[in-house]
Amino acid sequence: MSFTLESPRPRSDWYWALALSIAALALYVRTLCPTVYWYDSAEFAAAAALLGVPHPPGYPLYTLLGRVYVLLVPGEPAFAVNLMSAVHGAACVGLVFLLQRRLGSRRLAASCGALFFATGPSFWFNSSVAEVYTTGLVLGLATWLLLLDALAACSSRRLLLSGWLGGVGFAAHMFVATMGLGYLSLVIYGASRAAAQRARILAGTALCTLVGASLYLYVPLRLSMRPALRFVETSSLGSSLWMLSGGAYKSWFLVNYDRTGRAFRVLGLLAEQLSDLGFVLGVVGVLWLLVTRRMLGLALLLGIAGNLWFFFAYDVHDVEVFFLPSVALLSLGIGPLLTAASELLSGKALLRGLSHVTLGICLAYGVLRASLVLPTVDRSQDRSAEQYGEAVVAALPTGALVLSCALPEEWKYHAVFAYYFQKVLGRRPDVAMVTMPADVLEGLAAGRYAAGSEPAIIAQLRTTARPLYMYTRVAPLEPLFDFTPEGPLLRLRAKR
């Protein structure tokens, strides 16, 4: 091999990593949301509590792990799943430290890389609420660490185990697969022996990955059981494949857009997560590894490139979370670069002092950054979603109908009330939920229906004797209904 892997004292390094993880966990618990949060967070908390099937691709491992936390952690389910994000986020920080040590970093330098990563605003925020990203990332980073250990020990068994763990991570969040080019490059290089033996190792690793990813079979299996929370109503092969292939989210990738402008935006998002200093150190560090330890640097570059390429044109408001694998891999370059700089300056006493000052500045910068980021991600006093749910519970009359058009602007509220308050907490079972089919709403928006020829669901809603409500105003329905604010909702009354 043209690269070498450090073999530090395992026990002392694990203690150091544990200390960093505990420190990170203290930060994340300090900012942890104490109850249900908005959007997907409410859905994931409900899915974990009910062993349900959330939105595509279904997140089977996340749901199962979340259920374990709900059973073990006292208090309401949302808090338990929020805590899971914090625990997994803290574990990511320790793994970033260990990976840098494997890449030849000294402990203080590796701590700098871990600190820059741990205090990224998006990663920190997603460690404070119920979200899937820290769970996926902790398994992705553990896969890389196990792979490097396998290569260092020339262990085929560990190599196969790393493939299985990567597949398991894929079942937590599919963005783990976008780092796969870097992983695959190291597997191929590490297995570069006789052609037949190399083929067996590659085939075995691929098979182990598929075995780990087979956790996705939970999705159609659980759908067939008709759980209380399910994103699709049927358990047919078509609906299961639709779920597993990403559902409607496949259409959220831009086709025509300014690629140059998008590139600058993506670079800005990466710099925001690592800070300008951390981003520069990470980029230079990965390039330094590319020059000094060619295959390791290339693997990091390929892992970053695959992640950036896949989500480059993904058009969601929180696209930065999908680049967290790139942020993590970039942070792995920080420790090795600072170590190389320290060794370069260690020849003379004056320069050696300068290297210590540089490390001190980086550590101080990371601590200062933590103090600045904390107020922006702090959800420890955020009970707004809980208060909204309670307000809806109090405002709705007996036997009301709540109409949802499955629009993104409604999701914030629908997940909190319909998923968490109704299904998990059992509040207001008398209230019925009605979903407007997408094609009907599109027809109304396009003016396809003449007066009196609207689809049956429109006629039923216009003539129902039950009080009818919506979360937000939907423009295509305005010619048919009057909207009147009542508490946190809008009351709908048919126009004559």
Q: Which amino acid is at 61?
A: L
Q: Which residue from 207, 214, 209, 314 is spatially nearest to 269, judged by alpha carbons? A: 314
Please give the Cα distance from 379 to 393 (Å, whole number). 23
Question: Which tokens is 1 given?
Answer: 């091999």
Phi (first) and psi of residue 157, to 5 degrees: -65, -45
Q: How many CB atoms lie within 10 A of CB 277?
A: 17
In this prediction, residue 201 carries a pLDDT of: 84
Q: Can you say whether the dihedral through the CA atoms of 238, 239, 240, 244 is positive or negative?
A: positive
CB contact at 8 A, 467 and 399: yes
In this prediction, residue 275 carries a pLDDT of: 92
Rama region for 376: left / alpha / beta (φ>0; ψ in -120 to 50; rest): alpha
Q: Which residues contact 210 (CB under 8 A, 6 or more apart)?
A: 167
Low-confidence ranges of the chain (pLDDT < 50): 1-2
Question: Which tokens is 477 given?
Answer: 């329905």
CB contact at 8 A, 272 and 319: no
CB contact at 8 A, 164 and 209: yes
- The DSSP bridge pattern shows strands 481-486 and 468-470 to be unpaired
Rama region for 428: left / alpha / beta (φ>0; ψ in -120 to 50; rest): left
Please give the Cα distance from 304 to 325 (Å, whole number). 7
Q: What are 403's strand-pairing partners?
A: 434, 470
Question: Which tokens is 420 given?
Answer: 């968490």
Look up the pTM and report it. 0.92
Question: Which tokens is 101 given?
Answer: 């040590």
The per-type count for the chain, helices as H runs and strands as E runs, is 21, 5
Please give the Cα distance from 161 to 93 (Å, whole number). 22
CB contact at 8 A, 324 and 123: yes
Which DSSP string do the residues of 181-199 spell out, in sequence order? HHHHHHHHHHT-SSHHHHH
In this prediction, residue 1 carries a pLDDT of: 39
First to last CA, the chain: 79
In this prediction, residue 193 carries a pLDDT of: 59
In this prediction, residue 350 carries a pLDDT of: 58
In this prediction, residue 62 carries a pLDDT of: 96
CB contact at 8 A, 472 and 402: no
Please give the Cα distance from 185 to 100 (Å, whole number). 19
Q: Can you say whether the dihedral through the CA atoms of 14, 16, 22, 28 is positive or negative?
A: negative
Q: Residue holding tokens 């170590």?
A: 339
Phi (first) and psi of residue 89, to 5 degrees: -65, -40
Question: Which tokens is 328 given?
Answer: 């993590």
Q: Which residue from 357, 355, 333 is spatially nearest to 346, judged by alpha carbons? A: 355
Please give the Cα distance from 230 to 410 (Å, whole number). 18
Rama region for 355: left / alpha / beta (φ>0; ψ in -120 to 50; rest): alpha
